[in-house]
């Protein structure tokens, strides 16, 4: 199956897995996806992730249980319409209760980190 937007596909798989209360989900592997998942892990929106031993070329994502489950995961920048932001214009999600993931020149990071480092970039998604 050909996917035009692999990041949106990953976020949809995670969102759907949370909705049906699965413990883990398999996602096709890429470096950008691992970077996004690393930010989600730091902020405790997922428990862990690893390259799957069962299926080669896939990442197994262990979903978070408890209160840190995301209510909404939205893709902001899309292949047909990229959304970029300056360091001073990085949005705050739900007055700091959620987070924005930004792809900067120093790598993929949370919006709060990018603000501290004085970096702008492409807004990948919002999570709350």
Q: What is the pLDDT of residues 9-52, one digit of tens each?
A: 999 999 999 999 999 999 999 999 999 999 999 999 999 999 98
Measured CA to CA, the distance from residue 90 to residue 127 in angstroms comes to 14
The answer to the question of residue 68 being in a domain is no
Same domain, 57 and 84: no
Find residue 81's DSSP bridge partners. 78
Q: Is pLDDT above 90 for 100?
A: yes
Residue ranges of alpha helices (H) inside the chain are 6-19, 31-42, 111-117
- Tell whether 84 and 117 lie within a shared domain: yes
Q: Which domain holds residue 59?
A: 6-63
11 and 56 belong to one structural domain: yes
Structural domain total, the chain: 2
- Is residue 1 in a domain? no
pTM of the predicted protein model: 0.92
* 106 shares a domain with 83: yes
How many Å apart are CA 63 and CA 44, to the nearest integer? 9
């Amino acid at each position: 199956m050909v996917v035009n937007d692999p990041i949106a596909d990953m976020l949809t798989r995670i969102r759907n897995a949370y909705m049906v209360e699965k413990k883990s989900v398999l996602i096709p592997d890429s470096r950008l996806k691992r970077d996004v998942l690393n930010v989600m892990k730091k902020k405790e929106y997922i428990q862990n992730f690893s390259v799957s031993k069962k299926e080669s070329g896939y990442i197994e994502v262990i979903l978070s249980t408890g209160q840190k489950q995301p209510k909404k995961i939205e893709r902001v920048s899309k292949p047909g319409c990229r959304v970029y932001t300056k360091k001073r214009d990085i949005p705050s999600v739900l007055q700091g209760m959620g987070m924005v993931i930004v792809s900067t020149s120093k790598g993929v990071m949370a919006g709060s980190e990018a603000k501290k480092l004085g970096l702008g970039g492409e807004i990948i998604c919002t999570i709350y």
